[in-house]
Structure 1
Amino acid sequence: MNFFFEVLIGGLLSGVMYALVALGFVLIYKASGVFNFAQGAMVFFAALTCVGLSEKFDLSIWLAIPLTMAVMVVLGLAIEKIVLRPLVNQPEITLFMATIGLTFFIEGLAQLLWGSQPHKLSLPIEDVPIEFIMEKFNILVSQFDVIAALICAILVTGLALLFSKTKIGRALRAVADDHQAALAVGIPLQQIWGIVWTVAGFVALVAGLLWGARNGVQFALTFVALKALPVLILGGFTSVPGAIVGGLIIGASEKLAEVYIGPLVGGGIEGWFPYVLALLFLLVRPEGLFGEKIIRRI
């Protein structure tokens, strides 16, 4: 039983980090109604830029992080002004294709600036078992995973409150519902999109630092965003709480499947089980647990 709880807790902690990546998708989708395929590239760009600044200019990580944040703000605002703003009121597929182009551009820009070789990212968080839990419950829980999950939880909760309880949040929901109507009542569309892309850049930075510290800063970080797809399908593309719940479900089920089902069907189950779970969920509730049902009159 201790081993079961050890696996479950590890999965839940990973799920919180998945939720953080999924949150970047949710923010953009709520503001523009488009799936931002470039979110994974932004995670990679943020992590590589932080490491690159630290190594190239011999900066401490505490100085490199705010400098990287400034770079991500500039990147987010540039994307809004150069790419998104000219495509206002265009079909959603046009915006989606634009984010695919952004993906390759951002990936190439990151490697052009800082190189393509893998880097080690060291944060002042040790990846060691928590002694209190080990002694009291005989369960191995990583200190890094717990602190990373707490950081993600605080960030996700703060953003959820920001977009549900503030004027910016109400404006964002109005923009998501109808761009033209929002403009007609005086909501500054470009300003709202600029804020959202800036926040998405900040989320990408935090996710890039945490995943980069765990797995190394390398091109594979772009694929972390793919793990957010099942999270979004389960939680709903427009729900911040849904991203949290979906992340916990995916993280826990992935680890449990790896340990208990993996030996029966072969290795690599953690790579595809979340997508199978999401596919089955689509058959039951396509809009997700917290997504809004779309009713169309015919």
Structure 2
Amino acid sequence: MAFFLETLFGGLMAGMLYSLVALGFVLIYKASGVFNFAQGAMVLVAALCMARFAEWIPGWTGIDNKLLANLMAFAVSVVFMFMLAWVIERLVLRHLVNQEGVTLLMATLGITYFLDGFGQTLFGSDIYKIDVGMPKDPMFLLEGIFEGGVLINQEDVIAAVVAAVLVAALSLFFQKTGTGRALRAVADDHQAAQSIGIPLNRIWVIVWCVAGITALVAGIIWGSKLGVQFSLTTVALRALPVIILGGLTSVPGAIIGGLIIGVGEKLSEVYLGPLVGGGIEIWFAYMLALVFLLFRPQGLFGEKIIDRV
């Protein structure tokens, strides 16, 4: 039973990290109707920015305090992601207002390749580490119930808590603020939103800024666990099954989908893997997503859209 709980908790922690990446897709789609293929590249660039400035700032300023240096690097990275969002809106999206979804999708695909090259040119192509002081030692829970306790990684717990807080804050932002409601109105109908005075360009800048901050937090967490390298872009691929399960228009769906995928991967690998030779964790999420596409393409919490001809 203790081993089952360890596997379950590990899946929940991994699921929250998947949800954090999926959230960037959901935010931009809800506000602009654009499936942002560049989200993975944004995670990479944000992580590179954080890692490099955390390394450069002590040398530039003489600051020896790691916490202060990390806070300054985070602030610089936030400004950098805001500027990047503004440039993307100004140079790309502004000229594609009211275009077909396929056109916007291809634009984000182009942004992906640009950001990959831009990040490598600006920050270098080596593998970097992000050390934000998260404890990596394991801890044991429920020692009074199970002999030896249930092994949990402290870093995973902290990362999951950070992801949960961010997801909750963004859910409240969308539901309770005037800007959040404007974002949803723009997603429903660009032209109607413009006709009632909602500034479309400003809304797109805001949502790309928010997605940039989400990418930064995801990049810091994933970079702390795996190191900052260019394969970090592919972390977005792990988020695709999450948004298929949860629904591309639902913030809570991103959470539930991530938890289902995370737990399903871990449990299937441990309990079904030995029966088929292992490797289930690699493809389990995509097979589950395929089943949802066949029988419930809008996902668990997504909106079913009917277009009248």
TM (norm. structure 2) is 0.93
Aligned to 1:37: 37
Whole-Å separation in 2 of the counterparts to 1:133 and 1:41: 40
What is the count of residue pairs matched by the alignment?
A: 298
Q: Which amino acid aligns with 2:71?
A: W
| In the alignment, structure 1 residue 140 sits paired with structure 2 residue 151 | yes
Aligned to 1:100: 109
Q: Which amino acid aligns with 1:9?
A: F
Give the CA deviation at 1:133: 4.4
Whole-Å separation in 1 of the counterparts to 2:278 and 2:127: 25
8 Å CA contact 1:134–1:141 kept in 2: the answer is: no
String of CA shifts for 1:39-72, please: whole Å, max 9, x gaps. 0000000011111112234362221111111101
Give the CA deviation at 1:135: 6.1
8 Å CA contact 2:245–2:299 kept in 1: the answer is: yes
8 Å CA contact 2:57–2:73 kept in 1: the answer is: no
Instruction: Spell out the pairing of 1:1-298 with structure 2 (5 A cutoff).
Output: 1-58=1-58, 60-133=69-142, 137=146, 138-298=149-309
Whole-Å separation in 1 of the counterparts to 2:193 and 2:144: 57
- Segment of structure 1 superposing worse, 24-33 or 115-124: 115-124
Give the CA deviation at 1:134: 5.0
- Segment of structure 1 superposing worse, 46-55 or 56-65: 56-65
1:215 to 1:178, Cα distance in 2 relative to 1, 3 A: same
String of CA shifts for 1:154-176, please: whole Å, max 9, x gaps. 00000001001111121111101
Give the CA deviation at 1:264: 2.2
- Where 1:296 maps in the other structure, the secondary structure is coil
Whole-Å separation in 1 of the counterparts to 2:203 and 2:152: 40
String of CA shifts for 1:191-243, please: whole Å, max 9, x gaps. 11111000000000000000000011111111111111000000000000000
Of all paired residues, the percent bearing the same amino acid is 60
Q: Which amino acid aligns with 1:186?
A: G
Whole-Å separation in 1 of the counterparts to 2:186 and 2:103: 18
Whole-Å separation in 2 of the counterparts to 1:109 and 1:263: 43
- Where 2:272 maps in the other structure, the secondary structure is helix
Whole-Å separation in 1 of the counterparts to 2:113 and 2:281: 27
- Where 1:130 maps in the other structure, the secondary structure is strand
String of CA shifts for 1:241-274, please: whole Å, max 9, x gaps. 0000000000100111121222222343212110
Give the CA deviation at 1:136: 5.4
Whole-Å separation in 1 of the counterparts to 2:123 and 2:191: 41
Q: Which amino acid aligns with 1:44?
A: L
Gaps of 5+ in 1: none
Q: Which amino acid aligns with 2:84?
A: L
8 Å CA contact 1:134–1:140 kept in 2: the answer is: no
Whole-Å separation in 2 of the counterparts to 1:160 and 1:207: 17
8 Å CA contact 1:118–1:218 kept in 2: the answer is: yes
8 Å CA contact 1:133–1:140 kept in 2: the answer is: no
8 Å CA contact 1:233–1:288 kept in 2: the answer is: yes
8 Å CA contact 1:44–1:222 kept in 2: the answer is: yes
8 Å CA contact 2:140–2:150 kept in 1: the answer is: no
